[in-house]
Structure 1
Amino acid sequence: MTLIFKPALAISLITAAVLTACGGGGGSGGGGATTLSLSGVVADGYLGGAKVCLDKNENTVCDAGEPSATTGADGKYTIPGITAGDEAKYPLVAEVPATATDSDFTGTVGKAFVLTTPKGNTTVTPLSSLVHQELQATPALSAASASVNVKTALNIASDPLADYIAKPDADAHIRAQMITQSLKNNADVVGGGSTAQKKDLQGVLLTMAKQAVVAAAPAAGASAPATVPVVGVEDANTVRATLASKLTTGAATQAVTVNFDVVNGATSIKACDAVTLPNVQRWDQSKLTGAPPSAATLLATPGAAQSTAGQFVDIRFYISNVLLWDAAGNAVPLVMTEDASQAKNLALLDFGYNTAAAGAPTCTATYKTAITGKVVPGSYTGISFTVGVPVRSADLTTKLNHVNVADPASPAPLQTAAMSWTWQGGRKFIKIDFRPDTPSKKFAAGVVGTNAIANTHIGSTGCAGNPAAGAPETACTNANRLGIKFDAFNATSQKVVLDVAKLFKDTDLTYEGGGAPGCMSATTDPECAPIFKALGLGFTGVIGGRTLTGADVQTVFSVR
């Protein structure tokens, strides 16, 4: 198994016309089979420049030799040269390139994605893709039942195999736009997958898109929003792990231990150890001495190097979906041993936390610093993983991030109340709290005060839907899950290391500039920007909540 990343309810009548009839078996002369053309439309809005083909080997790829055509600006296509009968035997695939146009918007679609429709249908949309996926996932299902399942899940009135633009259905249209957004972005983070993986990857992407849209779509019958609601983008490793769970064969019998450490530069640390953090001055605090004082201001250029002494009073973080990679680019999941700290391939690593209600901190001395499990036997030279809690387990069967912390049926690592924000917001993926020896200053309501603790709580934000209030799903615009891959890693001799000196390298721990004490992932919190930068997470805008690459890649985790 290779993972290489660089993605009947009234079935529409086939608008086909016999073009030639060439003898033999009912043809009118000659010896060839009867051929016909097949016409239809491709839409999110109407998509121009998409390649549409009859997918005769059903691999979700338009292969050489398969009858195909390109859509016009109106989304319409006509595929010639189809052998009579094949139009009802095979599905259609629409490969939408980044250069395609969408009648809903100006410009190009920007990122490539794939749409499909079941055999016998000629309208290709995100909704028809979901129906097709239902049929692929459950071959015994009828087309009528698959359509009803999608219609019910998305809470729409029209047939999901119909053209929701020609016969307007605003609810269907906005959900289609959201599905496309999810398909484009999640396919983009893994580079679209290899040709051999396209079918399975498309199934993963559609399942993720459906789950997100069910959680975040506007209420049925509501006025269409001015912009398409944002659907969060998963980190590449979460998508890879989900695909790997489908493709990996063989029993996981080879024991593996992945060790982690937390360091301050070159020194290993635990909670309550005395530390001195190197960082920089980011705020001009001279204005706080005036009468009356005024707020400090951010410096245009960070000031001279400084350091802050203190101790961490909580160091915990979640690691999920560990994959081991071999030298040929094959990846297999690490199947974690199930215990109080590990379940559903999710582990809560614990380097200590304060148990004192007041006064001097008293930190725990029992730690969880390694992940144990098994893999399919092999020789592995690399590792990837996600820092954070996915929405679901890699097999997409079990809800993870947005489950009730008090539910005894939820996976054990998720029952730690201190790592939970709210049921809707999910878990604190990273919880690293620092107690400086000299409390940091803050300014609020015209008064200079102090903060005793600088919190670093990283988790998903912009979350909609709340199971506690009856909503079946939750989706977040900023996933804030960090996908990490190290091409060189030896589990028997190396550790994965989190360096707090690098995490706080550009953070001024002497002043609290606003919002919650420290950083709690709010996009308006000035303390969060340098921390997100160090973690390689997009902070705001179109990159908000995404794992960044290239020059913006994370610097906090390494292998030693």
Structure 2
Amino acid sequence: MRLSYFAILALLVVGCDGTENSDLTTVTVDFAAVVGDAPFECGGVYPLGTPEADVTFGDFRLYIHNLEHIDSAGKSVPVTLTKGDFQTDEVAMLDFENGTEECAGNGPTHTRIEGKVPMGTYEGLSFSLGVPFTQNHGNPATAPSPLNLTEMSWAWKNGYKFLRVDAGSSDLAGIRIHLGSTACEVDGRGLTTACDNPNRPKVVLSDFDIAADVVEVNVGALFVDTDPMKNTKDTAVGCMSDPDDPDCAPIFAALGLPFDGVDAPPQTFIRKAP
């Protein structure tokens, strides 16, 4: 059976679920990095921690996925991300460092996520920090951007760094907060089949004006109960998501993750900008 040009065109404008593409609207979500109440800047010096110390940052990047808008009835509606250098159709990377001063990452930043969602009235949004399990244990060398960045992968853990914060204080250089899945099981073929600690916190902002509000990512929250001048002996400097590293406890609490048998408290890392 042959289809006419107009029949083919009609098929192209109809989505896989039978809905017209005209029913979709482009949406953007803006993010801003802050350190407490101050804007995040490469080269900035911030008094942080308990006890307080001057901290500078060298990197601040994270992945998010499962972005959804919440409609007036409380229903979560998935957002299909627009593919680009910083986004697949499922995963986006937020990059707050610009490669200047102490920051040694890429020059371009990425603070706005764009996608498409069915037209409607939305009053909130939600998303998960990290990379979905189905994509977390692939090969970065063959993955699409932004999952092809080797500096955001853990070769020794066969997974991605969901969050990368590199910092330092006058007394402790090389503080690293790298969040990722741990205690992963590998089968006889070398494939990861499950992880006991997925470490993908979910963020829900229920009172959020999609058109006007901004999502703040407060890296200062990770240091509120952290001593930036000390590190537990025989552990990585900072927190590399090791479930046996006590330095991770206050950081996981700020991220809204359980740690060492303690239930997850409400996260303080991400919020709606005041």
Q: TM-score range by the shorter chain?
A: 0.7 to 0.9
1:249 to 1:478, Cα distance in 2 relative to 1, 3 A: farther
Equivalent residue letter for 1:517: V
| Residue 430 (structure 1) aligns with | 163
RMSD, matched Cα: 2.4
| Residue 402 (structure 1) aligns with | 137
| Residue 556 (structure 1) aligns with | 269
| Partner SS state of residue 503, structure 1 | helix
Q: Deviations over 1:453-490 (max 9, x none)?
A: 10000100001116xx7334431100000111111111
Match of 1:453 among 174, 177, 188: 174
| Residue 121 (structure 2) aligns with | 379
Shift of 1:363: 5.8
Q: Is contact 2:48-2:55 (8 Å) kept? A: no
Equivalent residue letter for 2:179: I
| Residue 255 (structure 1) aligns with | 26
In structure 2, distance between residues paired with 1:433 and 1:310: 10
**Higher strand fraction (1 or 2):** 2
Shift of 1:422: 2.4
1:542 to 1:534, Cα distance in 2 relative to 1, 3 A: closer
Shift of 1:247: 9.2
Match of 2:250 among 515, 530, 533: 530
Identity over aligned pairs, percent:
38
TM-score of the pair, normalised by structure 1: 0.43
In structure 2, distance between residues paired with 1:416 and 1:355: 19
| Residue 171 (structure 2) aligns with | 439
Q: Is contact 1:259-1:495 (8 Å) kept? A: yes
| Residue 184 (structure 2) aligns with | 463
In structure 1, distance between residues paired with 2:27 and 2:202: 20
| Partner SS state of residue 538, structure 1 | coil
| Residue 274 (structure 1) aligns with | 44
Q: Is contact 2:57-2:103 (8 Å) kept? A: no
Shift of 1:541: 3.4
Shift of 1:325: 0.7
Shift of 1:416: 0.5
1:512 to 1:542, Cα distance in 2 relative to 1, 3 A: closer
1:506 to 1:250, Cα distance in 2 relative to 1, 3 A: farther
| Partner SS state of residue 151, structure 2 | helix
The one of the two structures with greater contact order (alpha-carbon pairs below 8 A, sep at least 6) is 2
Q: Deviations over 1:154-203 (max 9, x none)?
A: xxxxxxxxxxxxxxxxxxxxxxxxxxxxxxxxxxxxxxxxxxxxxxxxxx
| Partner SS state of residue 49, structure 2 | strand
Structural mapping, 1:82-93, within 5 Å: none
Q: Is contact 2:98-2:109 (8 Å) kept? A: no
TM-score of the pair, normalised by structure 2: 0.86
Equivalent residue letter for 1:509: P
Match of 2:259 among 539, 542, 551: 539
1:553 to 1:269, Cα distance in 2 relative to 1, 3 A: same
- Return the index of the structure with the highest Cα Rg: 1
| Residue 221 (structure 2) aligns with | 502
Structural mapping, 1:300-319, within 5 Å: 307-319=52-64
Equivalent residue letter for 2:137: H
| Partner SS state of residue 414, structure 1 | coil
Equivalent residue letter for 1:430: L
Equivalent residue letter for 2:36: G
| Partner SS state of residue 342, structure 1 | coil
Q: Is contact 2:59-2:103 (8 Å) kept? A: no
Structure 2: give runs of 5+ residues left out of the alignment.
1-15
Q: How many residues align?
A: 256
Equivalent residue letter for 1:275: V
Structure 1: give runs of 5+ residues left out of the alignment.
1-245, 282-306, 393-399, 441-451
| Partner SS state of residue 371, structure 1 | strand
Equivalent residue letter for 1:265: G
| Residue 474 (structure 1) aligns with | 193
| Partner SS state of residue 534, structure 1 | helix
**Higher helix fraction (1 or 2):** 1
Q: Deviations over 1:488-526 (max 9, x none)?
A: 111221111111222210000011113111100001112
| Partner SS state of residue 208, structure 2 | coil
